[in-house]
Amino acid sequence: MTQELHIVGGGMAGSEAAWQAANAGVRVVLHEMRPKVETFAHQTGNFAEMVCSNSFRSDDNERNAVGQLHWEMSAAGGLIMEMARNHRLPAGGALAVDREAFSQSVTEHLRAHDNISFVEEEVTALPSSGKWIFATGPLTSQDLGSAIAAASGVDRLAFFDAIAPIVYADSIDMSVAWRQSRYDKGETEEERTAYINCPMTHDQYEAFIDALLAAEKTEFHEGETAGYFDGCLPIEVMAERGRETLRFGPMKPVGLTNDHDPQNKPYAVVQLRRDNALGTLYNIVGFQTKMKYGAQATVFRMIPGLQDAKFARLGGIHRNTFINSPTLLDSQMRLKSHPHLRFAGQITGVEGYVESTAMGLLAGRMAAAELQGRELPPPGPDTAMGALITHITGGAEAKTFQPMNVNFGLFPPIDAKGGRRGRKDRYKAYTDRAKETFTQWLEGQS
C-alpha cells in the first residue's frame, strides 16, 4: 500500500501540493490549524485564503514572467489557477479574483477529493518518520518555527508583511475619482475601467506625506527587526526613504487621464482595485501599512475621493517566516538534514501567491513521485517554475538570501541571434522557450 503524504498548511502552496499529489494517486493527509487556532491575518478556516491582496498579478504569458508562471500552472492542471480563472474580476492586465468565492471553491474541491483527508490541528514539531511537506507560509507558528530552526541548525529568518486596507465602493466619491486601468489596458471596456483612481495635486500630496510620516505606527516587539521585503513595503516606510518615493511607486500618475479634468495631469494618483465579484469592495493598491487603525482612517481620508471612505478592513502587519533554502534544501525541496521533510511555498523564500503556489505544485508532484518509487526532476531553469526552484535551492547567494518574486532575471539569458533584441521581443523569446521546455517536462511524466 502506498505510504501517506502529510501536508502541513492549507494555504496556496499546501492546497496545490495536496491537489497535485492526490491526482497522482497518492493518499494525502492535509493538516490545517485554522479555524481551531487563529492567526492575525486570516478571517476564515477555508483553504487558500487570500490575505494581503486579491491579485495574482499579470496574466500576460507572452511578455511577463508572472504570466508565464500562470501558464505553466494551468498546463500542469493546477487547482489554484483553475479556481482563480473561474472567479476572476476585471483588473486590466492582472488576474484578480473574488477572494471569498475563490477560497470557498478551492476548499470544496479539496474536500470532495477521494484521496484527501483532513486533520484540524496545530503541528508544533517536526516528525521523525513518514513523508511530509511543510507549507506553513508566512504565519508559521512560534513552536513550529522553533522546531524548524532546531532541525536546520540555523536561526530562522523573518521579515514583516503588511496588509492593504479595503474600502466600500459606495463610499468613494466618484465626482472626484474616475475609472481607468493604467494605459487603458484590457481587451474589454470592463477591463479598461477596472481601477478607481483618486487624483492629488502637489499640495495635497505634500500634506498627505506629512500626515503619513507623523502618524502613529505599530511598534515592534522586543527582538524583532523590520526587514521588509521590498515588493511589499508599507507606504510609510517608502515615504521615509524620500518624499517622492510613493509618487514613483504605487502613487505614480503615468498612463492615466482624469475624466473630470483631462487638461490637468495629476501630481500623484491613488488606485483602488475591485476586490469582490459584486464590485462592492475595493482595495487600495500598494497601500500596505503599519499605521495604527485610528491613524489609518484619518490619513487615508485625506485622499481626494476617499474623504468619506468607509473601511471594510483596515491595514495590518504580521510576521513572515522563511528559511535559508539555498543552504538547507536539496533540488527536490527536501531538508538536507532530514530528507523525509519537504518545504514548499513562501516559507522557502519565494514571494507572492503565484510563486508560493508554484512551489507547492512542484513539491506535491515530487513527493508523489518519490512515494511511487521514482524521482521527478525539476523543470528546466529556462521555465518560470524551474527558474524559481533553481534560485531557492542553490542559485541564490545564501549569505544575502531574501524572498524573491519570479522575474526574467532568474532565467538563463537568451542568445540574441541576429543582433540585440528589444525588450518586448526578448521577453517573448523567454516565454516561448519556457513553454517548449515546460511542455516537454510534462510529457516526460506521462
Name the nearest CA neighbour of 46 among 4, 99, 114. Answer: 99
Q: Which residues contact 242 (CB under 8 A, 6 or more apart)?
A: none
Contact 280, 272 (CB under 8 A): no
DSSP-derived secondary structure for 100-119: HHHHHHHHHHHHH-TTEEEE
Separation of alpha carbons 335 and 327, rounded Å: 9
Grid cell of 64 as nine digits = 511577463
DSSP-derived secondary structure for 241-265: T-TTTGGGTTT--TT---TT-TTS-
Separation of alpha carbons 419 and 86, rounded Å: 42
Summarize the annotated binding site for FAD as residue ranges: 9-14
Contact 28, 115 (CB under 8 A): yes
State how far Cα 71 lies from the chain centre. 16
Summarize the annotated binding site as residue ranges: 9-14
Separation of alpha carbons 320 and 41, rounded Å: 11
Beta-bridged to residue 118, according to DSSP, are 30
DSSP-derived secondary structure for 373-406: T---PPPPTTSHHHHHHHIIIIIS-GGG---B--
Q: Cell match 524583532: residue?
A: 224
Residue 46's SS3 state is coil
